Amino acid sequence: MDTLHLLFNAVTIVFIAATMFAAGLGATLPALRAVLTNVVLLVLVLLANLVVVPLLGWGVAALFGLPAAASVALLLIASSPGGPFGAKLGMVQSGDVVAGAAMQVLLAAIGSITFGPTANVLLKAAAVGGGVALDVPALMLTVAVLQLVPFAVGLVVRHYAPATALSWHPVAARTSNVTFLAVLAGMLVGNWRDVVALIGSLSLLAGLVFSVLAFTLGTALATGPPARRTTMGSVAAVRNAGPALAAVGLAFGDEPAVLGALAAVLLSGLAAAVLIAAVLSRRRAAALREDA
């Protein structure tokens, strides 16, 4: 069991680092500057992802009366912006991929700092987690090292050696995808009893509703053409699993009930976000055919 636990932690670290390294390799300074100079869009997206969506998670958990483990999982996820699949869903829906990728990276970077304090406040306000408070400095250090350093390295490589970055990016992206699936599988297999126990409860439905509402709010709190706004919706709906996983390990000792709930909520939320992106993609493809 100890070996499996160490393996799971190692794969989780690889997932977080590879995801941020791939994001850095795929980012450019002009794209980041374009996002940072669009002040209205920037303020609205930060408001949506750092304030509104975390409060939404708290509201959904309270509305559905979730048990403690599921509430902790949902609050951790809601507090963690910048999920790497947000930008990818922008591609799936034929949205504004450049803005989506740049904003996802920015949110992941900022979220590495804001996640700990936000989750700590929500856990205390919701009175869940058995009174356990997150060690904010340790969590900030862990998340910052695992996310900001790989992203910075990738960005430097992209800026000074673009050909190398483009050749490395597919490998880093595949590593991110594979390890993400491995992390989800590890959470499900290692905590399948807790996941099965959630079937028939409101936890899975709460994760789905949270994702749909986060997409709606993220789309509403954005500017620009519909493709850009719905891309911002996808970015808001898909949260960053890395900090949440780090928090479960640091604050809850990889408690099986919390890990199982985290896997279930992540899967149900991701399923909802993928479905929305697929519907948007079909509508836009149909619109293009009609125009042609």
* 270 part of a folded domain: yes
pLDDT value at residue 285 = 86
Quote the number of domains for the chain: 1
Instruction: Tell me the C-alpha distance between 18 and 168, whole Å.
Output: 11
* 292 part of a folded domain: no
* 291 part of a folded domain: no
* 52 part of a folded domain: yes
pTM for the whole thing? 0.79
The CATH number of residue 180's host domain is 1.20.1530.20
* 97 part of a folded domain: yes
pLDDT value at residue 215 = 96
* 87 part of a folded domain: yes
Instruction: Tell me the C-alpha distance between 160 and 147, whole Å.
Output: 20
pLDDT value at residue 191 = 60
pLDDT value at residue 101 = 79
Which amino acid makes up residue 63? L
Which SS3 state, helix, strand or coil, does residue 135 take? coil
What are the angstrom distances between the C-alpha of 221 and each of 43, 192, 235, 254? 9, 37, 12, 35
> Which domain does 48 fall in, by range?
2-285
Segments of the chain with pLDDT less than 70: 1-2, 5, 129-136, 138-139, 143, 187-188, 190-200, 292
* 85 part of a folded domain: yes
* 290 part of a folded domain: no
